[in-house]
Structure 1
Amino acid sequence: MTTRRRVLLAGAVLLTALLLVGGWLAYRVWQAADAARDLQAATSGADEEVSRLDVAALRSRLAAVQDAAARVHAAGQDPVWRVAEHLPVVGDDLAAVSAIGRAADALAGDAAPDLLDALEALAGPSGSAGASAGAAQVPDGWVDLQALADAAPALDRAAVTVQQLRADLAAVDPAGLAGPLAGPVAGVRDAVDAAAGPLQTVRELAPVLPDLLGEDGPRTYLLLSLNPAELRAQGGIVGAVSVLQARDGAVGLVGQRSTADLPELAEPALPLSDDELALFGDRLGRWVQDTVLTPDFPRAAEAASAFWTASTGQQVDGVLATDPVVVADLLGATGRTVSADGTELGGEDLLRGLLRDAYLAYGDPKAGDAFYAQVAAAAFAVLRDAAADPQTAGAAVQVAADAVEQRRVALWSADAGEQARIASSALGGAFLTGDPSTPTGTVGQAVGVFLDDATAGKLDVDLDARVAVTLTGCGSSDVRARIELTLGYRPPADVTTFPAQVLGDGGSGLPPGWLATNVSFYSARDGRLGEVRRDDAVVGGQEVRTARRDVAVVTSRLEPGATETYTLTVPAPASGITVWTTPTLTGPGTVSSPCPTPR
């Protein structure tokens, strides 16, 4: 056989092999696409069933979901497919389909059964949300949370699966994929990311959850209702204090105080550090409203607990805090209202009525605070009823998960062992005291931008505060983050006619209707702050170093209708940066900007 014929024959054989491989690959792609369509059909409508905690309906569709997901996964595991993932042009798309197939199979085969077990525990054996084995012993008006403790082991197993999937999918960049793939891949990543946070929080708290809910004996907690009409670092001044008791998996409201019932102390309720005195004066320990001046929730909770003991003689086992945005979201999601002084409030009406109208309607600021306390008590009843209603329990759970992610809910335990676990979770709020060796120790790499009202009024209802982060240098050794805080003040035209309890006590020295805000910038742990600029001009202010962080405090003074922008540029980790900030009516308590993960 001549050399020419050998070459032609080899070429023909190679061409035939390529055609066969190409045909096989096309067949596998068709299989994957067909299975993906079946998967979409099998999961259509599941969101509504989850919101109703309809475990029976979800279980009835699980087999079809698992079958379709397994077929998508099998197509992507074919040896020819895996080799083709290294080809130019189509390789990234094939690799993405393979990754999505693995994720779908793991979610359907491993995580979904555990999540259904958890939902079944939350819904109760009779299908009614919140029911548990000890439901008959739950006092009237209390919230039965035993089901949450019962669900924790299954949620723990699901969290392990989801966290692994999150790591796997992080290497897939939707931006580099073909148009039809980019959307679905981004959707799966977003869904896994959204599930990972709440599941991880449950996983971290699962070992201590029974004790927190009073399994080892009754527990007493303070619930701080924060008022963002007058900002503090944690979200707003303490507007009301409720006393909760947890016993045998159930929680009840057993006491209520407005801040008017808790006057300032002659001396701080606990020793304050030199750094705290420099930043806050002694207000952190003398006024219950100001215990949330510190951006570190464990320290704020310690101050609130000590203040309560000094004022009432009662010791508490822990402290929770939340704000009215959570209540408004809960009302909106469940279609409920709260009643205070004969007024029915719901959704956005609640925020306006609670944070502005009440202070205009009552001449005495103590009456406004009392109205706030009424709403706080009514909101607990709404939570109780929503958790017990199968039609709204799912929506209430979603609102709670969103509130934790936005840092609108925080928890502290007086027990050191329990607190160590809480501090490492999304509920801990441990900006200054977090342990860098824990899984959430990356909070040490976070930068802080916190707001505190300096007008002593209730004008922050009209403040639009937004934090934005822009990264440069991703993929290099010099990643930098430009942090931008924009403050826009838009009060009503007649703001100057408002009463003193809204305008402030005049201590800021500003004309009536103006707004003063102290802005505190915190560096990363062991980091440094650069220049702080206001509308491109460098501004100075108080400088302190605390908890291994640089702090710069500047004061914003805004006339009605004005806007200011503060910028700060700092080094950032290679993975990106997270900024902790004050949860406000217009923005959450964290803003993250990740660097894309290189493939």
Structure 2
Amino acid sequence: MNKFSRRPSGDEPSGDDDADLSGTEDEQRHHWLHDRHGAIGAALVLLVVVVAFGLWLGVRALDAKSSLEQARDSAQQAKDALLEGDTGGASRFADEAQHHAEAARDATHSVPWNIASVIPWLGSPFKTGQQISDVVLGLAADVLKPSTDVGVAISPDQLYANGRVDVQLLRNEEPELSSLAENAARLNAEAGTISDPGYLSLLSDARSQLQDQTSDLARLLETTALAARLVPPMMGADGPRTYFMGFQTNAEARGTGGLLGGFGILRFDNGVPFVDDLGKNIELTGAVANVDLGPEFNQQYGFTNPKTDFRNSNLSSHFPHAAQIWKSMWAQKTGMNVDGVLAIDPIALSYLLGAVGPVTMPDGEIITKDNVVELTESTAYIRFPTDTVARKNYLQDIANQVAQKITGPVDSPRALLDALGRAVSERRIAVWSAVPEEQALLEQTPLAHIVPDDAAPYAGVVVNNLAGNKMDYYLERNIEYVADGCDGQTRMSTVTVRLNNTAPADAPLPDYVAGTEGLARNVPFEVPRGTMVTSVRLLATANSSVVSVLANGERIPFSQSMERGHPSYEVQVLIPPGQSGELVFRLSEPTSAGAPRVPIQPLVDTVVPVVAVPACSG
């Protein structure tokens, strides 16, 4: 029998209290449905909010991605236009970069993005996106846009005209260039601290690209600002300057590039260059350099008489050593104290001839960018196999014609600047100043060619010709520098050097090219014609120690010394024509902070080293 409860009325007792609280089944069902509908409604509202938030965030993310990509592309185009001297295009692209950067910053600092960025783990890419947009906007507004204004003032056509560099114009723009360099350095530092986006690899790529872009721009502006400080005084803005300019013959390798084959005196007066006193290297015969380059230099090179024999004056790859010797030799020979020293090689001359056009010799022979290297490094020795005076006169005439062409008015200052830049990037032009403040600034640039006196990873491979021949015209080099990680205080590293003598075994080369006149007469073995007799020296990371040195897989003896705080390991090798060899230096080196450096000695061949050395934080 079913029992029904009813609601009491008046004073009537309620009876079953539990039944009164629970209500009827219909009422219970009604309450349950009402609660369920309420929960579903709340969930639906929440879902709508989440979806709307997601859509909102997605739209802003797409906006940010598109704007950042466009800002990055416009920024790169602005930089390229500046380097090409297209100041109008640079200004337009800089405006576009700033516009897109502002849009990206608005998107990444919108409400949904700000909310998402503070969510643990999930928000890491959003935080990264905000940091990226901030740096991109700063890059566009604080660096690129004002750079275009300066670029208009110091464009190549404005800076160099009618054979004169406008040194005062460059000096006037130096404060603004230094300010731009500081802004670029600040933004580069900010880019380096952009957080890891975690799970979103797309932003990892964007972060890496931005860091590379800001680093390149910071270096460019730093170099430009340094040039604005250095060029005016060094080019005679405050009075005439004179420089000893050495022409290096890198068919016979020396530490700074090649044998000092000839020279000239380069003068600057208020930005106007001209060359006089071109001479042959033999004019320095008997000159004595009165300079003190320290006990390490004396121990390593003293026995070769570098201060009295110009042929051995630049065995060290530290260019200031050779520069001071040349300056002192010239002063002792002539009484002239130059203000600095420059060095250049035939490959650099070929780049410059490509910019200014060919020159014509007195006999009608045309010297071009395509034949000047072969003529000066090879053909001259075959054309004049025994007449040393005629050969030196010929080479001096070429140097004179090229120098006059380069220092005169040119049709395209932009092309000349590009050629100089290429030569500098390949270490084919070196500069030293006798003014200490200027030299300190030069040592912050690639022009100084110094062996750095610091602890960062270093592998400097230096080749010197011991045979006194010109066989290094046929030398090909490959250099690899690899090292373990940064976990311990020291790590194993390996420097591999491969040398190839590309001269055919039956090549009809004159004795001056293929002989061994530089060897001592009492050498207890026969050296075939065309053999490279070569000193190979490795300047290693400071405080390194050698484990072994291998030649074609076999241990060989080596000599050890020090140069500017770097341990120096030297071996001597013979490479007959058409043959090659491999040297492997196995080292234990400190896990020092800094990026690895592998300077390339400027010889005839072009070397791109293989470097696999982790940069440690120290």
- Smaller-chain TM-score bracket: 0.7 to 0.9
Contact 2:481-2:613 within 8 A present in 1 as well: no
Corresponding residue for residue 400 of structure 2: 377
Q: Does 1:489 align with 2:511?
A: no
Equivalent residue number for residue 357 of structure 2:
336
CA distance in structure 2 between the partners assigned to 1:76 and 1:90 by the alignment: 15
Amino acid at match of 1:580: P
Q: Is contact 1:485–1:565 with CA below 8 Å preserved after alignment?
A: yes
TM-score (norm 2): 0.80
Q: Which has the larger radius of gyration?
A: 2
Partner residue in 2 for 1:250? 272
Partner deviation per Cα, 1:418-458 (whole Å, 9 max, x = no partner): 223323433222316x5x5xxxxx6x653322111112111
Matched residues, number: 574
Report the Cα offset of residue 562 of structure 1: 1.7
Letter matched to residue 369 of structure 2:
G
Residue identity in the other structure for 1:370: N
Q: 1:353 maps to what in 2?
A: 375
Deviation at 1:106, TM superposition (A): 2.6
Correspondence list, 1:112-191, <5 A? 112-123=144-155, 128-131=158-161, 145-170=167-192, 188-191=210-213
Partner of 1:404: 424
* 1:314–1:575 CA distance, 2 compared to 1 (3 A): closer
Matched, 1:539 2:556: yes
CA distance in 2, matches of 1:286, 1:29: 70
Structure 1 residue 259: Cα displacement? 1.2
Are the equivalent residues in 2 in contact too, given 1:541–1:552 (CA < 8 A)? Answer: yes
Output aligned runs, 1:35-54, within 5 Å: 35-36=67-68, 38-39=70-71, 49-50=81-82, 52-54=84-86
Checking the alignment, whether the CA contact within 8 Å between 1:583 and 1:589 is kept in structure 2 is no
* Contact 1:479 1:573 (C-alpha < 8 Å) held by counterparts: no
Identity of aligned residues (%): 22
Please state whether the residue corresponding to 2:599 is helix, strand or coil.
strand
Instruction: State whether residues 35 and 68 of structure 1, in contact with CA within 8 Å, keep that contact through their aligned partners in structure 2.
Output: yes
Secondary structure, counterpart of 2:260 in structure 1 = strand
1:585 is matched with which residue: 580, 599, 604?
604
Offset, 1:102:
3.6
Do the aligned partners of residues 76 and 232 (structure 1) sit closer, same or farther apart at CA in structure 2, a change above 3 Å counting?
farther
Residue in structure 2 matched with residue 439 of structure 1 by the alignment? none
Aligned residue in 2 for 1:499? 510
Contact 1:233 1:581 in 2 (8 A): no
Deviation at 1:306, TM superposition (A): 0.7
Change (3 A) 1:27 1:462: same
SS in 2 for 1:531: strand
CA distance in 2, matches of 1:486, 1:112: 43
Q: 1:473 to 1:299 in 2, by over 3 A?
A: same
Identify which of 349, 354, 366 aligns with 1:327: 349
Q: CA deviation at 1:478?
A: 4.7
Q: Deviations over 1:365-411 (max 9, x none)?
A: 3433333333433443454468x54xx43343344334334333222
Alpha-carbon distance in structure 1 between the residues aligned to 2:124 and 2:199: 7
2:458 is equivalent to residue 454 of structure 1: no
Deviations 1:545-591 (A, max 9, x none): 34333211111211122222222234242444212342223336987
Shift of 1:208: 4.4
Work out whether 1:415 is the aligned partner of 2:450. Answer: no
Question: What whole-Å deviation, never above 9, does each CA across 1:516-566 have from its counterpart, x for those lacking one?
Answer: 111111232344344222233222222223433321111121112222222
| Coordinate RMSD, CA, aligned | 3.8
* Contact in 1 for aligned 2:117/2:124 (Cα 8 Å): yes
Query: Of residues 555, 558, 568 in structure 1, which corresponds to 2:575?
Result: 558
User: Measured at CA, do residues 274 and 179 of structure 1 come closer, stay the same or move farther in structure 2, by a change above 3 Å?
Assistant: closer
Give the alignment partner of residue 226 of structure 1, picking from 248, 252, 274: 248
- In structure 2, the residue corresponding to 1:367 is in which secondary structure? helix
Question: In the alignment, which residue of structure 1 is the partner of 2:54?
Answer: 22
SS at match of 1:595: coil
For 1:219 and 1:501, locate their aligned partners in 2 and report how far apart those are by CA, in whole Å.
Answer: 37
Find the aligned partners of 2:168 and 2:260 in 1 and give their Cα distance: 29
Q: Aligned AA for 1:352?
A: E
Stretches of structure 2 that go unaligned for 5 or more consecutive residues are: 1-30, 520-525
Q: CA deviation at 1:238?
A: 1.6
Equivalent residue number for residue 567 of structure 1: 584
User: In structure 2, do the counterparts of structure 1 residues 122 and 587 end up closer, same or farther at CA, with 3 Å as the change threshold?
Assistant: same
Post-superposition offset of 1:51? 5.2
In 2, are the aligned partners of 1:165 and 1:192 still within 8 Å (CA)?
yes
Cα offset for 1:145? 4.8
Deviation at 1:96, TM superposition (A): 6.2
- The one-letter code sitting in structure 2 at the alignment partner of 1:336 is G
The answer to whether the 8 A contact 2:339-2:433 is kept is yes
**TM-score normalised by the chain length of structure 1:** 0.83
Q: Structure 2 residue aligned with 1:109, among 109, 116, 141?
A: 141
The structural deviation recorded for 1:487 is 1.1
How many angstroms does 1:488 deviate by?
1.5
Greater mean alpha carbon deviation, residues 175-184 or residues 346-355: 175-184
Indicate the SS of the match to 2:307: helix
Partner SS, residue 160 of structure 2:
coil
Deviations 1:305-355 (CA, angstroms, capped at 9, x unpaired): 0111122221111111222332323444x3733444633333343322221
Which region of structure 1 is more displaced relative to structure 2, 151-160 or 86-95? 86-95
Q: Provide the rounded CA distance (Å) in 2 between the counterparts of 1:350 and 1:35.
A: 49
Q: Which moved more, 1:546-555 or 1:345-354?
A: 345-354
Counterpart contact for 2:255–2:317, Cα < 8 Å: yes
Q: Measured at CA, do residues 561 and 370 of structure 1 come closer, stay the same or move farther in structure 2, by a change above 3 Å?
A: same
Consecutive unaligned residues in structure 1, runs of 5 or more: 136-140, 437-441
Distance verdict in 2 for CA 1:14–1:540, change over 3 Å: farther
C-alpha displacement of 1:182: 7.3
Query: In 1, are the aligned partners of 2:124 and 2:197 still within 8 Å (CA)?
Result: no
Specify the alignment match of 1:549 in structure 2.
566
> Structure 2: how far apart are the matches of 1:503 and 1:86?
72
Residue type of the partner of 2:510?
P
Residues 1:114 and 1:318: Cα distance change in structure 2 (over 3 Å):
farther
Select 2:97's aligned residue among 62, 65, 78. 65
Opposite residue 463 of structure 1, the aligned amino acid is L
Tell which deviates more after alignment, 562-571 or 515-524. 562-571
Distance in 2 of aligned mates of 1:166 and 1:589: 26
Residues 104 and 175 of structure 1: CA distance in aligned 2, closer, same or farther (over 3 Å):
closer
CA distance in 1, matches of 2:207, 2:368: 37
